[in-house]
Amino acid sequence: MLVATLAHGQSFSVVAGGPTTPAPGDDILNPGPIPVLVGSVAGPPLSPALEVDAFSWGHHTDFVITDYPFSIDPASVGAIGAAGLEIAGAGAPGPGDHPADIYNSIGAGGNTLLWDGNGVANPGLAPALGLVEPVPGDDVDGWDNRLGSGLAIFYSLDLVTAPLTGFAGADVMIAPPVPAYDLGAALYAAAPALGLDLLGVGTDDIDALVVFEHSGAPGVFDGADYILFSLTPGSASLGIGSGTAYAGFGAEDILVATVGGGGLHLPGAALGLAPGDNLDALDVIPEPNVVLLIFAGGAGLYIRKRLMR
């Protein structure tokens, strides 16, 4: 289980139009909040700013997942008896604060507060992101437990602004981590390659994203690459009888897509979420099983190190 936050920094995005500034929908922020990757000031000429509603710095190796940091939207309530500290309706000290908070789950049906939106309701229990809460306040819609890889950012746009750049809300893009990254992106994984938008372009919308890009051609969804993600409520692929690999699942569930197919990775109930909740930000934390080989005096010493703790 996660026992500490990452030493390398965390990053997140928020829904545009919230009270925190600067916080356009395509800026990537550090707790503070401090912009660490600024998106386009505006989209194409005469268009609104772009809304990045899912991003990932990308994992480049496989590991056993032990923790799932995540956030939820304002309408989510959490499962009774299994929810974190501030999910609305859970009898917590700050009901309604949850859209600006980050929770952590080990996938066993519950969750704990990992980062607090403003740190006011729970002083000393979790560090603050520097956001505004309760509802109506800020809504975290993208999360990564790292500041950045320095190589690339993977992201998806919402259904409204994706067409402004020629993409769909279920496409995954890749871009170098430079200012206005979202105006010069390339397609990493088209929606149909993920088993999405099969019922029509724009019928699905990726809402949370974790990319494992570590085999085949760099920057191309191929080989043993795979993606963990969630979809927004109303995405057609979630419909019972849709005929897709994701039929009957919900916006609270973590889904998985590989080059060969897709399906359920982890049900929302395993995160302490209720049917109808919306998981809108996600990352994963590896098992502390990476072995470092250190040579000292000609002898090899193996040391187990807890990664990202």
C-alpha to C-alpha distance for 248 and 308, rounded to whole angstroms: 34
The two tokens of residue 265 are 């990775």
Q: What's the confidence (pLDDT) of residue 164?
A: 86
Residue 71 CB neighbour total at 10 angstroms: 29
End-to-end CA distance of the chain: 9
Q: Residue 305's pLDDT is what?
A: 21
Paired strand residues for 282: 70
Query: Lowest mean pLDDT: which of 21-25, 143-147, 162-166?
Result: 21-25
Q: Over range 112-130, report the average pLDDT.
A: 81
What does the angle CA 162 – CA 34 – CA 6 come to, to the nearest 5 degrees?
Answer: 95
- Eight-class DSSP state of 124: T
Over the chain, what is the mean pLDDT?
82
Nearest CA among 231, 196, 194 for reference residue 54: 231
Q: What is the largest CA-CA distance in the chain?
A: 65
Q: Answer yes or no: is pLDDT of 297 > 70.
A: no
Residue 287: Cβ within 10 Å count? 12
- Supply 13's token pair: 């995005």
Token pair of 304 as six digits: 């187990």
Looking at residue 306, its pLDDT comes to 21
Asked if the model's pLDDT at residue 299 lies above 60, the reply is no
> In this predicted structure, what is the pLDDT of residue 154?
96
- CA separation for the pair 153, 52 (Å, rounded): 11
For the chain, the residue count is 309
pLDDT at 57: 94
Identify the weakest region by mean pLDDT among 3-7, 241-245, 264-268: 3-7
SS3 257: strand
Distance of alpha carbon 246 from alpha carbon 256, whole angstroms: 9
Q: Which of 124-133, 226-235, 267-276, 289-298 shows the lowest mean pLDDT across its residues?
A: 289-298
Model pLDDT for residues 7-62, shown as the tens digit of each residue: 347 999 999 888 886 567 999 999 999 888 988 865 555 455 789 999 999 998 88
CB 116 within 8 A of CB 86: yes
pLDDT of amino acid 183 = 84
pLDDT value of position 40:
83
pLDDT above 50: residue 307? no
- Could you identify the residue written with the tokens 């995405």? 235
Kindly state the percentage of the chain with pLDDT values over 70: 80
Among 81-85, 147-151, 222-226, 266-270, which is the least confidently predicted range?
81-85
| Burial label, 251 (beta-carbon count in 10 A; 0-12, 13-18, 19+) | buried
Per DSSP, which regions of the chain are E strands?
11-14, 28-30, 34-37, 52-56, 65-72, 102-105, 112-115, 140-144, 153-157, 172-175, 186-189, 206-212, 226-231, 254-258, 261-266, 279-282, 285-286, 290-296, 299-305
Distances (CA, A) of 139 to 27, 99, 180, 224: 13, 5, 22, 33
pLDDT (0 to 100) of residue 44: 53
Residue 301 has pLDDT above 50, yes or no: no
77: pLDDT strictly greater than 80: yes
In this structure, the number of other CB atoms found within 10 A of the CB of residue 258 comes to 16
Q: 14-28, 35-49, 269-283, 285-299: which has the minimum mean pLDDT?
A: 285-299
**What is the pLDDT confidence band of residue 308, given thresholds at 50, 70 and 90?**
very low
DSSP state of 176: -
What average pLDDT does the segment 140-144 reach?
96
The pLDDT, as a whole number, for residue 214 is 83
Neighbours of 44 (CB within 10 A): 12
SS3 at position 268 = helix
Residue 104 confidence class, pLDDT cut points 50, 70, 90: very high
Position 262 confidence tier, pLDDT thresholds 50, 70, 90: very high
